[in-house]
Each structure stands twice: as structure tokens, then as C-alpha cells.
Amino acid sequence: MRCWSAITESTSHREGGVLMIENRYINRIIIGLVAAALVFTGIFVWNPDLIKIQAQTAAPEYARLLFPEDEVITIDISADPDEWSEMLENALNEEYISCDITINGETYYSVGIRPKGNSSLQTIARDDTTDRYSFKIKMDEYVDGQTYHGLSKFVVNNMQADATYMKEYLSYDMMNYLGVSTPLYAFADLSLNGEAWGFYLAIEAVEDEFAQRNFGSDFGILYKPESVEMGGGQGQRPNGEQNQDGGQGQRPNGEQNQDGGQGQRPNGEQNQDGTQGQMGQDENQNEKQPSQNMMNNRQGEAGSAQEGEATATDEDADGGFRGGRPEGGFGGGQGGVFGGGPGGGFGGGSGGSSGGTDLVYTDDEIDSYSKIFDNAVSKVSDTDKQRVIKALKALSVGEDLEQYIDVDEVARYFAANTALVNLDSYVSSLKHNYYLYEKDGKLSILPWDFNLSFGAFQGGTADAVVNFPIDTPVSGISLEERPLLNILFENEEYTELYHSYLQNLVEGYFGSGHFEETINRLDALISDHVKNDVSAFYTYDQYQAAVDTLREFGKLRAESIKGQLEGTIPATSEGQSTDSSQLIDATGITMSTMGSQGGGGGGPGENQGGLSQGGPDENQSTPAEN
């Protein structure tokens, strides 16, 4: 018994020892886990961007359904024929009507739709051969909270001035390639009351859903600076939007919505065909100009106007130029064809009040920046506005720039914008078609509106566009007049950063074959849709010629950028004006073949891919497309 008792006691001690050892290990594990939790908590407290990165990885459902990469979506608009006709007759008012929309077979009721645009809106409005407007679609205009799988608003653009059907798509693709936050986009077949209407590009609106998708739930504030006065009627505005033609959930004619605001279908719907408005072939062939003609000064023509004066017509608000192309291109002042100096380039030098759209600091008064703050995407406080002014002040003096400006993002944006020769933007006298994003007092610039990219802004010779100077990438103004761009050239480190992104495009986007492969992929995707586009601005043969020209333009543009980076081609407008002997020869292509400003608005034989020849109210200015 004693022996058994001893064994039992010994065993009990051993088990107790094991339990004590196990408890010590468990305690250590618990302490370790608690410590790790505290460490991770501290990381996210001190670096909240990590949370945003995780939030960004969860793409919203609408990204997959509305903006697929390799599919053409279908959008059928069901609208009362009389209301639709009245909306088109009064398109410049930009007023919503209620309609039902079926997207890829899924129907939504009481959705707001209205014509949108700027130069494209004006062009179509004065053309009695076509009603092919761009449209804004607002899911919650009449039904509060209604979205398409999380998206409340998107636009469909009509491809005006783009015979390639690809300019805007490729522009966003290039921005996206460099890591710039861009809206989503996809090709779309539109129909009206079951009948084909046209082939469009659908684009995500740059609003709260865009911001959350790109920057996470704790996103900052978006502004859309606009240098020209708002035109039209009571169309949607960034702030204080109100429903038009009926209250929430009601049809414009007063019919009550059924089932929680789901609008009834209109009675007596009639099918409407899209009108045919094909373009004629531009027979003007581009000729190589000697430097003196290509870069000559032409004071008193396009380059002599001041911002906001008579040449800022309804077309000029979106980059238009009426009355044809001046001899020798659009040169002027110190800048040559795509001017790098005051008065140079397209459409005017400095002058007039910008309201802040040039991002030049003037003073600390909020009213001095009305054209920024009046175009805030959401409601903003005076404190929000003062953060922007403080950043602009830092931008003007060049101190603590990286505290107030996202220099890396700005370099990426302007590298892509320069490669695209997208002059209907911040870099011209119009200083529009961009979004300003502010978060915690730091500013960045976001892309919008590229139908006039690839050098389509007001013409110019192929040589001038292909060799557009990378170190003076402005039109009609000097670099100093655009401080957000100018900082890249006042600091050697920033210039190298900007050049590195251009080099990335030369090698990775163009040189790797990505550009041409993307064109080939898109051509395979949309070719039949273009062929069957019932309201096309261009014939199918013109589309094919335009795509071929686009491929060649990309090769030549990349070759010129490469030479400018290496120093074998002058990288400034002054240098190119002094010595044009090394410029890339682009006489083999005709720029208007790809579509040009004012083109795409008439029927066969009208406007023929060239500049618009006038219209009503020549001196009226209208806002940028939004």
C-alpha cells in the first residue's frame, strides 16, 4: 500500500508539474497574442492608409457588371416618346426626364436621364441631322437611394470627334497604367424603346462611389474646377441637386410610382431609330512644315485672344475654334503651334479672372477661388476650402511642397497627359476637364474628358502633335501660369520623376506592344458594333482608316518622346522652333483621319472630320463636360 501510495503521489506531482509548465506556456502565448494585437492596432492607428488599401481591394459589384473589360454592355432606355422628343429639342437646358433603363437585362424604373456635354452638346444641338447626344444617367434622381449595384450615376459618351472610337478608352487606360486613379469605363450598345440608338462609351461618374472605390471609406473631397460659366437650363449641378419634372419617385407627367417608387411604364411607347449622321472623308492631306511655318508667331489670330473674351465661344469652352484653321497651324506668341509661352498655341494667352481654376494662389479670400469651390462634388465647409487655399499658397511659394501636393501622383498624371497630347485640359488657356482631390490638406489631380486627346484639340500639323515638347507641355500659356505643372520643372528631382514615368510609357506601354495589343483587342471587340452603329458620325471605312492611323501615331509619338528624353530631339517649344531638323517626320499620317474637333456632328459631306463652321450665339461660353 505504501508503495502504491508513493507511486500515486509521485504521479500526482508529475502531473501537477506538467500542468504548471503547460500553464506557463499558455500564459506566454496569450501575452504574445495580446502584444501582437497591440502592435497591429498601433500600425493601423499610425498608418490608416493600410486600411484604405485593404478597402480598395474589395471592388464594388457595379465595377464587374457595368464596366467589364472584354464585353460590350447593353443599355435599353424606355421613355415616353413625347417627353424624349421634348428633352432632345431642349437639350441645352440639360434637364432630366424619367425613364426606365434595362442594363444587361436588368430593369430599373424611374431613372433620370438628360443630355450632357459641352462642345459635343453644342455641336449636336445645332445639327439637324442627328440627335446622338451624350447622356448622364442618374439612378436616384427620382427614387431616393436607388443605385445600379452601388453606383448612383454614370455617363454615356457619344464618340463625337473620335473616328477611332478608342481615344477616351485608351486615354484612361494609359492613366491607369501609370497608377493614376481613373473612372471605370466600358463600351455600350444603346437602344431606345427597343430600337438601336448608337454605340457609346459608358464611364463611371467621379463622385462619392468613385472616391470610395479608389481611396477607401475615409476619402477626401473632390472638386471639378471650371473656367467658364455654367450654361443651359436647370440641369444637374454638383451641389444642391434637385429633381426635375416631378418629385421623388414620380414620373414627369405625375404618374405615381408603384412598389416603393418603381415607376410605371409609359403608355403608347413608339420605337425610334437613331438618325444617320456619317462623316465625309477629310481630303486635306497633312504636309511637313519647316520649323519657321510650324512654329511661327501668329499674333492676332488664335493666339491673341484673352481668356474669357470673344474667342472663348461655345466651342472654345471645350476647346473649339470656329471659322477654320489659321494658316501655318495654330501658332502664336512664344510657344509655336502648341505654344510654350504667353499667347502661343491654341486660343489665347493669360488674362481675365480664373476663379482659381489655374490653381494660382492670389490671396486668402474664399471668393477668389469660386470656380473651384462652387463646383465641389459634395458639400464643403469653409474649413475645407481654407485647406485648399493653404495648399495653393504653398504651391505658389514652392515650400513644403510634398506636405501639400501629392507630387508623385501629379507627375504620373502629367506624364500621361503629355504623352496623349491632351490639351483640352489644365494645360491650355481653358484650364478645365480635370478633378482636384484634397485629403488632409494635400492636393492631387484626377483625369476627365479625353475625346480630344491624341492631338485633336483644335487641329495642328501631324509633325507638331507627334513632337509635342515634353518639357513645355502647354498650349496658349506659359508654364508659370500653371503652377501644379510647373513644379515638375522647377525641381530637378521632380523633373527626373516626371521623365521616369514618360520613360515607363515609352518602354512599358508603347515599346512592350501593350498599346498596339490593346488597340487590336478593342478592334476585335467593337468592330462589328461600329459597323452596325445606326447613328455613327463616321463610316465603317473611316473607322478602319482611323484605327490604322492611331497605331502609327502611337509609334511615332513614342519615338519622339524617347528622343526628347535622350536629348536627340529638343524637348521644349523654343528648342524645336530653333532647330526642327531632328523632329520625327509625321507627314505620313493625317491627324483628322482619327477625328478632330468640331468633326462628327454632321451628316455625309458635312463638317467632314474638320472644324465646325459656326452656329448660333458665337460668343456664348459653356461649361466642361461633367
Q: 58: burial class by Cβ within 10 Å (0-12, 13-18, 19+)?
A: exposed
Residue 306 main-chain phi, psi, to 5 deg: -95, 150
Cell of 214: 479608389
- 236 inside domain: no
Residues 20-34: tens digit of each pLDDT = 445 555 666 666 665
- 521 inside domain: no
Looking at residue 452, what is its pLDDT?
A: 95
- 241 inside domain: no
Q: Which residue matches cell numbers 515638347?
A: 469
Region for residue 617 given its phi and psi (left: phi exceeds 0; alpha: psi -120 to 50; beta: otherwise): left
Cβ atoms of 132 and 198 closer than 8 Å = yes
Q: What is the SS3 string spanning 181-249?
A: CCCCEEEEEEEECCEEEEEEEEEECCCHHHHHHHHCCCCCEEECCCCCCCCCCCCCCCCCCCCCCCCCC
Tell me which residue range forms the domain holding 199.
63-223
Looking at residue 521, what is its pLDDT?
A: 99
Q: Which residue matches cell numbers 510647373?
A: 486
The residues that bridge with 192 in the sheet, in sequence order, are 77, 195
CA distance 290 to 303: 20
- 569 inside domain: no
Residues 475-509: tens digit of each pLDDT = 999 999 999 999 999 999 999 999 999 999 999 99
Which residues touch 358 (CB under 8 Å, ≥6 apart)?
227, 426, 431, 481, 482, 483
CA distances from 433 to 223, 225, 226, 231, 419 (A): 11, 8, 8, 16, 17
- 182 inside domain: yes
Across the range 182-195, mean pLDDT stands at 99
Pick from 47-61, 238-252, 462-476: least confident:
238-252
Cell of 193: 424603346
Cβ atoms of 109 and 263 closer than 8 Å = yes
Looking at residue 37, what is its pLDDT?
A: 61
- Three-state secondary-structure class, residue 435: strand
For the chain, what percentages of helix, strand and coil (3-state, to nearest 5) are there? Answer: 40, 15, 50
Residues 594-621: tens digit of each pLDDT = 998 766 544 333 333 322 223 333 333 3
Segments of 469-620 assigned E as strands: none
Cell of 390: 493653404
Mean pLDDT, the chain, as a whole number?
78
Cβ atoms of 423 and 475 closer than 8 Å = yes
Helix (H) or strand (E) holding 97: strand 97-103
Across the range 531-556, mean pLDDT stands at 99
Pairing of strands 185-192, 73-78: parallel
Across the range 200-220, mean pLDDT stands at 98
Q: Is the pLDDT of residue 9 over 70?
A: no
Q: Is the pLDDT of residue 540 over 90?
A: yes
What's the whole-model pTM score?
Answer: 0.74
Count other Cβ atoms within 10 Å, centred on residue 403: 12
Segments of 104-194 assigned E as strands: 106-116, 134-138, 153-157, 185-192
The residues that bridge with 107 in the sheet, in sequence order, are 102
- 321 inside domain: no
The total of structural domains in the chain comes to: 1
- 397 inside domain: no
CA distance 280 to 545: 13
CA distance 409 to 178: 9
Q: 230: burial class by Cβ within 10 Å (0-12, 13-18, 19+)?
A: middle
pLDDT band at residue 35 under the 50/70/90 scheme: low
- 78 inside domain: yes
Residue 79 main-chain phi, psi, to 5 deg: -135, 155
Pick from 4-13, 132-141, 451-460: least confident:
4-13
Across the range 436-441, mean pLDDT stands at 98
Cβ atoms of 476 and 344 closer than 8 Å = yes
Q: Is the pLDDT of residue 104 over 70?
A: yes
- The residue type found at 541 is D
Looking at residue 596, what is its pLDDT?
A: 85
